[in-house]
Structure 1
Amino acid sequence: MSKFNNERRTFLKNGRGLFFTSVAVSSLPMSFLLSGCDSPFYHITYKNWAQDIQVGGVLAAKVTSLEDLESVAKWALENGHFIKAFGSMHNWSPLILSKDEPKDKALLLDMSQFNHLEMLESHADYGVVKAGCGVQSEDLYSFLANQPSGKPDIPGYAFSNTPAPGNLSLAGMLSIGGHGTKVSYNDSKENESLNGSISNNVLSVTALVWDGSKYALRTFHRDEEDGDLFLVALGATIILEATLYVLPNYNLRCQSFTDVH
């Protein structure tokens, strides 16, 4: 395995994300103001959905372009911050921050502006969609459902299994292996390999990674070496976008039973 691959696996096993070992700073210094990055910076109180993790005064940045993301990573490298992306914070595990981590070393990235959607392929039996990491799940589902292609009687596309909440970011769902409650049944003709988490549908991801001398963007395909590391990375990666395999849209039947004892 190449040195790059060994570094990538070591990086992904580090649960603290991109950690930089230069001298840490507790506030935004003049060095960032001179960096040329246009992303707005602010301080937030990080509070997860379960409200069991609350950390105040954490430095955050709203990244608006690929160039800004690279500038932010470069600045963090030079100034001793680790960076992690945060989405809807609909989680209860300390994947982004914990109460015990030194908040003056954290730089949280708001990636919500990366919410683009593009249908790359539309066929009668499947489709391929490219989606930004910050797109909300409900917007992704609606975009797919409103596509004109698919089955003649039920236009559009969908996933086989999805989480129920609509206010989850795509990157967040991929990070934790977001899934629904669908199960296979007798004589089912569905592809069981897609009947798991959203990550089962990933064909490729574009992520911010270390290339040996700097942080840069790189696209990983599912079938290449290290591609599987981005499918459920537990908050240890910065994903920009993903291409996903989708199924023709379908109707669901809701049946209630009132005689269960």
Structure 2
Amino acid sequence: MKAENNSQQTEFSRRKFLGGAAATAAATTLLPGCKFVAGSGSNTIPEPPEFPEGVELYQQTFINWARETKISGVWFCSPRDGEEVLAVANWAKDHGYRLRPMGSAHGFAPTLIPRGHSGENVVIVNTHDYMTDIVVNADDEVKSASCGAGAYIEDICAELEKFDLGLYHTTAPGGVSIAGVLAMNAHGAAIPKIGETLQPGHSWGTLSNLVLEITAVAWNEQAGEYQLKTYQRTDPEIGPLLTSLARAFITHVKIQVGPNLKIRLQSRVDLTAAEVLAMPENETANSFSNLSDQYGTVDIIYYPFNPDNLVWLKTWTVTPEKPDHAREVFEPYQLSEGVSMPAWQADMLGSTLRTFPRIVPQFNKTSVDSLVDMMSNEDPESLINDLWGSAYTNTLYVQPMTPRLTVAAWGVVVARENLQRALAEWYVFFTELLADYQSRHEYPYVGPVEIRAQGLEYTDEVLIPGAIEPTLSGARPHPDHPEKNIIIWFAINNNPDQPLAAEFNTRLEQWFYSNYAGYGLVRPEWTKSYAYTADGQFGGAWTNDEILTEVYPSTWTDGYPEDNNWHTAVAQFNAMDPHGVFSNSHLDKLFPSDS
């Protein structure tokens, strides 16, 4: 039995954290959300010449998730299918334009369009307007979902539920496209509790490890044009496409799925960071690694400078039967209640924190107090500290009205037996780093930190023999270090453009590489911020050429097979797109055409 769904994402009514009216925009820019259709005469930069007829073309302001990249008047198009994508690709090659695929623009890294871009000679290709088909293959031996590039994760999960299928874990935001998720190696978090067995169709790794098939745009030298090509998970060429950083244009994806698991999501706000992140010799039952052994997936949110040093700790546990205390839920974003904020208010708050950084401790105290108050609710009709439902309802918890932050993020691959040690060492250094700045009355970091752990991309979890590893995945296992079997994700959320943040993140990143050199492997979280310099442009991220052009190639080459490493990925990207249509200045540096 198969089902198709082209519905737009569901909107959920949420309480607002603050109230007020909208801010005005400068008259010289396009208002966010306003479209100028091609041919209207209202465009602010030249219209792309001889654009393919029948493909929707319009000008609009581009704003990324963190609202730190804002480019007024970029040209967009909305193709209806892969054939229209091809028409635009071949047009772009002939007219000197570049194309950037976009599902929801929920990202921080400049893989879509770099901050400071003029908006000229580029067209952003919006896949979510039309390329959103979802077909559930529920009767196949390997259960799967075939999805258009622009289909949102929340819609895929909702459709799977109709067949009692689902994803064990997924991205926290549901309004992200499947192609974007795979391009950026997006992930949720899942790690087994002691004795837990993985159900067929699921994976402990990222969503990249679920892929069975990808259709992408590839140059055909003999035909002299871009064409669509489908890659199976057993094809060596699929490896780079499983985490492509949007250097390739994906039009269609097929992912394996598993049974619709029931998950219990519990939240606590009574534990301190010092206890949860204690050194191994000081472990208690409430230390991160012990909680992970007991419950499975663990996530902490930590606001520094809060007087009681409390963390918001969440656990996700497969629980077939509803516990008496838990509230059964039937829709996602339950944890978004009370922590929503309109974009203009987030902008105003961010400006205040940048202008008066000394209020950061009080702001964080207020944030933690609010969390404690929310979690103290024991009304069985509305409590959120103990929820039970499908993975769809309990793993999606970041929605569009969540306050927008920028994020520096790294992963550290370690042996699970070193999980607590790795966390504790980070906590000691991070506390000392914050104290160093605070002693000078400086607050380059607002918070919060989010820490999660998950499994790696093991191909034996793919239900097709001979599956290829995701070449550039942050969670890729290393053949020389089989004992390193989990990855810890450190997400350093911060207020955009916070003073001294570039210096702060540079010191932190350098510490990651030096501290874990003996027993861990440091990887960037591709969708976020990394490769810092203290004096770099636009907050310092993605400006460290040594990391971008030397460290990263070595990270995915040394010890890896000659036919599936960084350099073979670069060669394939350039073979699929020798004209650089699907690239930008950031990707040109990462994947140079002459390498």
TM-score (norm 2): 0.36
8 Å CA contact 1:161–1:196 kept in 2: the answer is no
- Among 112, 123, 127, the alignment partner of 1:96 is 112
Identity level (%): 25
Indicate the residue corresponding to 1:206 in structure 2: 215
The 2-side partners of 1:27 and 1:134 are apart by 27
- Secondary structure of the 1:122 match is coil
- Among 63, 85, 89, the alignment partner of 1:47 is 63
Matches within 5 A, 1:57-96: 57-96=73-112
Matches within 5 A, 1:246-261: 246-257=257-268, 260=271
Matches within 5 A, 1:65-144: 65-112=81-128, 113-122=130-139, 127-144=143-160
- Among 167, 173, 188, the alignment partner of 2:181 is 173
Distance change in 2, residues 1:248/1:81 (3 Å) = same
The 2-side partners of 1:256 and 1:238 are apart by 39
What number of residue pairs does the alignment pair up? Answer: 224
Deviations along 1:137-172, one digit per CA (max 9) or x if unpaired, are: 11100000111xxxxxxxx11112201211111111
Deviations along 1:84-123, one digit per CA (max 9) or x if unpaired, are: 1111111111111112445212111011111111122436
Structure index of larger Rg: 2
Distance change in 2, residues 1:220/1:259 (3 Å) = same
Matched, 1:28 2:47: yes
The 1-side partners of 2:247 and 2:48 are apart by 26
Letter of the 1:241 counterpart: H
The 2-side partners of 1:228 and 1:64 are apart by 27
- Of Structure 1 and Structure 2, the greater helix share is in 2
The 1-side partners of 2:55 and 2:83 are apart by 10
Query: What is the Cα-based RMSD across aligned positions, in Å?
Result: 2.1
- Secondary structure of the 2:257 match is strand
- Secondary structure of the 2:255 match is strand
- Per-residue deviation, 1:55: 1.2
8 Å CA contact 1:179–1:198 kept in 2: the answer is yes
- Per-residue deviation, 1:136: 1.1
Indicate the residue corresponding to 1:188 in structure 2: 196
- Per-residue deviation, 1:228: 0.9
8 Å CA contact 1:122–1:128 kept in 2: the answer is no
- Per-residue deviation, 1:126: 5.3
Deviations along 1:9-66, one digit per CA (max 9) or x if unpaired, are: xxxxxxxxxxxxxxxxx6235522xx4x311111121110001111112111111133
The 2-side partners of 1:235 and 1:67 are apart by 19
Deviations along 1:171-195, one digit per CA (max 9) or x if unpaired, are: 1111111111222221121169811
Distance change in 2, residues 1:96/1:256 (3 Å) = closer
Indicate the residue corresponding to 1:197 in structure 2: 206
Deviations along 1:209-257, one digit per CA (max 9) or x if unpaired, are: 1121211101011211211111111121211111111011110123455
Point out where structure 1 has 5 or more consecutive residues left out of the alignment. 1-25, 148-155
Indicate the residue corresponding to 1:7 in structure 2: none
Structure scoring higher RCO (CA < 8 A, sep ≥ 6) equals 1
- Secondary structure of the 1:237 match is coil
TM-score (norm 1): 0.79
Distance change in 2, residues 1:57/1:257 (3 Å) = closer
Indicate the residue corresponding to 1:225 in structure 2: 236
Query: Mean alpha-carbon deviation: is it higher for 99-108 or for 209-218?
Result: 99-108
- Secondary structure of the 1:60 match is strand
Point out where structure 2 has 5 or more consecutive residues left out of the alignment. 1-44, 273-595
Deviations along 1:117-138, one digit per CA (max 9) or x if unpaired, are: 1122436x85111111111111
- Per-residue deviation, 1:258: 6.6
Indicate the residue corresponding to 2:318 in structure 1: none
Indicate the residue corresponding to 2:255 in structure 1: 244
Distance change in 2, residues 1:81/1:142 (3 Å) = same
